[in-house]
Amino acid sequence: MAAPRLTARNRGISMLDQKLVYETLQSLNVDLYTGVPDSYLNGFCNYALANFPEKNIIAANEGNAIGIAAGHYFATKHVPLVYMQNSGMGNTVNPLASLADENVYAVPMLLLIGWRGQGNTEPKHPQHKLQGEITPTLLEVLHIPYVILEDDDEKIVQTLKTAVETAEKERKPFGLIAPKGVMAGEKGNNKDEVYPLSREDAIEIILNAMPEDTIYSATTGRATRELYWLRDRRGEDLSHDFLNVGSMGHASSVALGIALQAKDRYVVTLDGDCAAIMHLGALTMASKVDAPNFIHVVLNNGAHESVGGQPSAGFLIDFTKIAEASGYATVGEAVTDRESLEAALETLKNAGKASFIEVRIHKGLKGKLPPLDFDHREAIDALIEELNK
C-alpha cells in the first residue's frame, strides 16, 4: 500500500481547508478572484489557479484588481474577491476611496489581505513593520469593516457568510485579514528549463560586463536576494547597490532618479517581469529625460516566483517593443543566453540614450539562497556616501 501523501495540514502546518473556503465562496455566488499573489495566501492562490483558472485573474497591480472586481460586480451583481499582500494596499487606496466607496459607486467586494509584519513578526524585514502595524487601521480609515481570520474550519464558513452578507447589504468592501499560516500552502518546485540562464547567471554576467563603479537598483524579491548573495560570494560590499526590499515596481524609478544626477557612471536596474508590469507607466519616462547612463534590465521568467510561481503576463507580451515605443534604445528583441546578453550590454553602453534589455530566464534558483540579513540604514548610507564622494 502506498504511503499517504504528506500535505501541509497533516505535517502540522497551520492553514485553513482551501477546498472548504472555495466551496463556501461559491455557495455565496463569489465567482471571481483577482489580485496579486502573496506567499501568505499561497494556499488560496494556488487552489484557485489549479481549480478555477477561468475565474482567477492575476492582475498587474492591486488597484487594477479593484477595477476588475468593480466591473465584474456591475456586470453580474455578484460579490468578487480581491487578494493581495498588505504591502499592496497602497495601490488600492485610490480606487477603494473614489470608485468602490459607498458614497461613490458602492461596490461590494471581499478584500483578502495577507498580513505581513503583524506584531513585528519579521524583524529582519523592516519593510513590513509599518505596513503590519497599520493594516487594520488603514481599513478603518477607509470605513471598511473587516475580520481577522483564524485557522478554524468550523468558523470560516460563518465568517465568509457574514462578510458577503455585510458587503451586499451595505454596498461596500469587506476586509478579510489573513495572518501568517492561515491561508498558507505547500511550496512547490517551480524550476523549469525553458531558457538556459538563471536569474543568478544573468545578474553575474551583468556585474562582470559593467564597470566596477556601476550603480545597481535591484527589484523586490529574488533579484535583491541574489544580488546580495553574489556580492557576498564575490567579496564585494553593498556600497554600489540599492536593494529595493519593498515598494514593488519602483526600483527602476529609483534608478532613474540616481542616473539623472550621477551622470558620470552607469546605473542599472535589475527589474523583474511582475515588478515592471505592476507600474508599467514608469517605462514612459525614458521618452522625457536625458539619461544615456541608465540601463533598464528586466529579468523575465514569466512568473510571480518568490510568492509561489503563479504565472505572469511576462511571456505573453513583448517588453522590448513596449520599451522601444517608450523611448528606450534596445537591441530589437529579448536576449536568452550569455553571448546575446553580453553583446546587448556592449552595444547599449554607448547608445546615447536610456537603454533597455529583456532577458528571458528560467524559473527556480541555481542553488540554496540565504535570506537577506543586513542593516538597511547602514546599506543606504553607504550608497549615499558613494554617490556623493
Tell me the CA distances in angstroms from 298 to 167, 261, 333, 335, 336, one per residue in order: 40, 22, 12, 10, 12
Task: State whether residue 101 is helix, strand or coil.
Answer: coil
Q: Each residue of 187-230: pLDDT tens digit?
A: 655 667 789 999 999 999 999 999 999 999 999 989 999 999 99
| Cβ-based neighbour number of residue 30 at 10 Å | 21
Q: Is the dihedral of CA 288, 294, 299, 303 positive or negative?
A: negative
Contacts of range 100-103, beta carbons closer than 8 Å, 24 or more positions apart:
100/66, 100/69, 100/70, 100/172, 100/173, 101/142, 101/143, 101/172, 102/143, 102/170, 102/171, 102/172
> Dihedral (C-alpha) 385, 386, 387, 388: value to the nearest 10 degrees?
50
Q: Residues 140-162: what's their mean pLDDT?
A: 97
Q: Taking 70 as the threshold, does the pLDDT of residue 380 lie above it?
A: yes
Complete domains list, the chain, with CATH: 18-178 (3.40.50.970), 199-387 (3.40.50.970)
Q: Taking 80 as the threshold, does the pLDDT of residue 295 lie above it?
A: yes
Question: What are 111's strand-pairing partners?
Answer: 82, 175
Q: Each residue of 304-321: pLDDT tens digit?
A: 887 878 889 999 999 999
- 310-311 and 303-304 beta bridge pairing: antiparallel
Q: Each residue of 9-53: pLDDT tens digit?
A: 443 445 899 999 999 999 999 999 999 999 999 999 999 999 999
Q: What is the CA radius of gyration of the chain?
A: 22
Predicted TM-score (pTM) of this structure: 0.91
- In this prediction, residue 371 has a pLDDT band, given cuts at 50, 70 and 90, of confident
Q: Each residue of 158-186: pLDDT tens digit?
A: 999 999 999 999 999 999 999 999 998 76
81 membership: H or E segment, kind and range: strand 81-85
The rounded distance, in Å, linking the Cα atoms of 4 and 157 is 28
Q: For residues 173 and 138, is the Cβ–Cβ distance under 8 A?
A: no
Tell me the CA distances in angstroms from 339 to 132, 272, 351, one per residue in order: 44, 21, 19
Averaged pLDDT score across all residues of the chain = 92
